[in-house]
């Protein structure tokens, strides 16, 4: 086959894919996702460094250095002590699974618990349900208080001799609310329990919000009972999908889960991740976002998302048929409609091209950087049309 023909085939495949997958890359009318299209430089990194594999670190020692720098940066955002250790993962679900795995094994080693129980807030992501199932842990789900935070008294009551750990959420999927981590930390210390915090979403927002002058919760390792924290790079930071991480207080914890992988190019490789092969490109992109585009770039994204969140809140409050379920503390909005169920509303808006999600009984919007004021104006127009149709 001549070069020309190869080029033609190449272009044809790409053109066909562009047609097949059109609309799936722009996020034009996506109001439901916690991801956003990565910046141009991250896309370029995906192309150029597609072959890097952090699952075989001996082959990619320079990428490993960048990985360590990304982890150190994230550990710093979480106020981790100098004894921290951690890993880049495929995202929040894997990190939460690893956190629960460590809670189970750490409790087995330190407290001799064979068949344990783990305590989750009702707001916890579905990945915790998967984790309990996979790890054969019994789970107890604790109701929320009026502020959508886990009820601390109910957590206290749920703790028994088999409890291996507690989970707190810093930026819940459905509300953006941060649990009151400090009393959970006190409980963890008092009862010698493992405390994992899921800051998959909030972990990369709060430190920057603080710099923008907002009051933010203290959710990280400043709380002495916190043993591990999930924090994602493929959410508001806009790094390549997939990209997440888990940071631990110390190796004293990870030594209960670490595995040696001797068949790799570096036979001393050790892993605490579930996945073996892991994309280096996602880590390189995260490194560029954190270290090269840097703080001003991230602050701009977050500032803009918060301004648009306020704008959307105001526009929704102007509609008599719509009621906000909570005052947004992050870039997540929940509302109900007095004319129809959230299911019907979401279906009607999908007819107009809008992707929204439902959480509990409310319609949920996540205001990510691709959701601009112009997008909100178009959305409110369509929402008004749907509501007027119903009158």
Ligand X SMILES: Cc1ncc(COP(=O)(O)O)c(C=O)c1O
Instruction: Please give the C-alpha separations between residue 173 and each of 110, 127, 131, 200, 321, in angstroms, as whole numbers.
Output: 32, 11, 17, 9, 24
Q: How many CA atoms lie within 13 A of 178 on its CB side?
A: 22
To the nearest whole angstrom, how small is the minimum distance from the Cβ of residue 58 to ligand X? 27
CA nearest to 42, candidates 208, 287, 279, 236: 287
- Residue 351 near residue 317 (C-beta atoms within 8 A): no
91 binds ligand X (CB under 6 A): yes
With respect to ligand X, which residue has the nearer C-beta, 290 or 387? Answer: 290
Site for ligand X in 207-266 (CB under 6 A): 232, 244
With respect to ligand X, which residue has the nearer C-beta, 196 or 387? Answer: 196
Give the C-alpha separation, 49 to 204, whole Å. 24
Site for ligand X in 149-178 (CB under 6 A): 169, 171, 173
* Beta sheet of 322-324, edge-to-edge order: 322-324, 332-337, 362-366, 357-359
127 binds ligand X (CB under 6 A): yes
To the nearest whole angstrom, how small is the minimum distance from the Cβ of residue 228 to ligand X? 13
With respect to ligand X, which residue has the nearer C-beta, 93 or 228? Answer: 93
200 binds ligand X (CB under 6 A): yes
30 binds ligand X (CB under 6 A): no
Q: 294 in the Ramachandran plot: left (φ > 0), alpha (ψ -120 to 50) or beta? A: left
Q: How many CA atoms lie within 13 A of 109 on its CB side?
A: 12
| Interface stretch with ligand X, choices 42-50, 89-97, 206-214, 379-387 (CB under 6 A) | 89-97
198 binds ligand X (CB under 6 A): yes
With respect to ligand X, which residue has the nearer C-beta, 96 or 342? Answer: 96
With respect to ligand X, which residue has the nearer C-beta, 240 or 386? Answer: 240
Give the C-alpha separation, 327 to 330, whole Å. 9
Q: Under rule CB under 6 A, how many of the chain's residues touch ligand X?
A: 15
One residue of 104, 117, 196, 201 binding ligand X per CB under 6 A: 201
| Interface stretch with ligand X, choices 47-55, 180-188, 193-201, 302-310 (CB under 6 A) | 193-201
| 62, two tokens | 């320079």
CA nearest to 350, candidates 53, 13, 28, 29: 29
Sites of contact with ligand X (CB under 6 A) = 34, 91-93, 96, 125, 127, 169, 171, 173, 198, 200-201, 232, 244
């Amino acid at each position: 086959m001549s070069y020309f023909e190869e080029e033609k085939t190449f272009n044809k495949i790409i053109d066909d894919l562009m047609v097949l997958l059109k609309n799936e890359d722009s996020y034009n009318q996506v109001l439901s996702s916690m991801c956003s299209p990565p910046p141009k430089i991250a896309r370029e990194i995906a192309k150029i460094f597609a072959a890097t594999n952090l699952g075989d670190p001996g082959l990619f020692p320079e990428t490993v250095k960048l990985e360590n720098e990304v982890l150190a940066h994230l550990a710093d955002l979480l106020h981790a002590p100098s004894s921290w250790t951690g890993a880049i993962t495929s995202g929040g679900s894997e990190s939460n699974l690893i956190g629960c795995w460590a809670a189970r094994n750490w409790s087995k080693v330190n407290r001799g618990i064979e068949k344990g129980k783990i305590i989750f807030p009702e707001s916890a992501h579905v990945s915790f349900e998967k984790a309990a199932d996979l790890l054969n842990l019994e789970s107890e789900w604790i109701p929320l208080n009026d502020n959508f935070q886990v009820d601390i008294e109910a957590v206290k009551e749920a703790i028994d001799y088999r409890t291996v750990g507690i989970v707190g959420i810093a930026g819940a999927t459905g509300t953006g609310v941060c649990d009151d981590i400090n009393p959970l930390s006190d409980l963890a210390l008092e009862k010698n329990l493992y405390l994992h915090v899921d800051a998959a979403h909030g972990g990369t927002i709060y430190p920057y919000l603080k710099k923008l002058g907002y009051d933010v919760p203290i959710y990280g390792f400043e709380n002495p009972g916190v043993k591990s924290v999930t924090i994602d790079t493929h959410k508001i930071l806009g790094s390549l999908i997939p990209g997440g991480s888990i940071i631990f207080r110390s190796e004293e914890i990870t030594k209960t889960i670490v595995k040696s992988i001797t068949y790799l190019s570096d036979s001393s490789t050790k892993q605490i991740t579930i996945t073996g092969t892991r994309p280096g490109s996602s880590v390189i992109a995260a490194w560029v976002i954190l270290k090269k585009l840097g703080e001003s770039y991230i602050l701009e994204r977050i500032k803009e998302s918060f301004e648009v969140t306020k704008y959307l809140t105001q526009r929704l409050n102007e509609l008599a048929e719509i009621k906000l379920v909570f005052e947004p503390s992050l870039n997540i909005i929940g509302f109900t409609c007095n004319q129809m169920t959230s299911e019907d509303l979401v279906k009607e808006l999908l007819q107009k091209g809008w992707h929204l999600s439902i959480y509990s009984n409310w319609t949920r919007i996540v205001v990510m950087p691709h959701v601009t004021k112009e997008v909100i104006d178009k959305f409110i127009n369509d929402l008004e049309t749907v509501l007027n149709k119903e009158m």
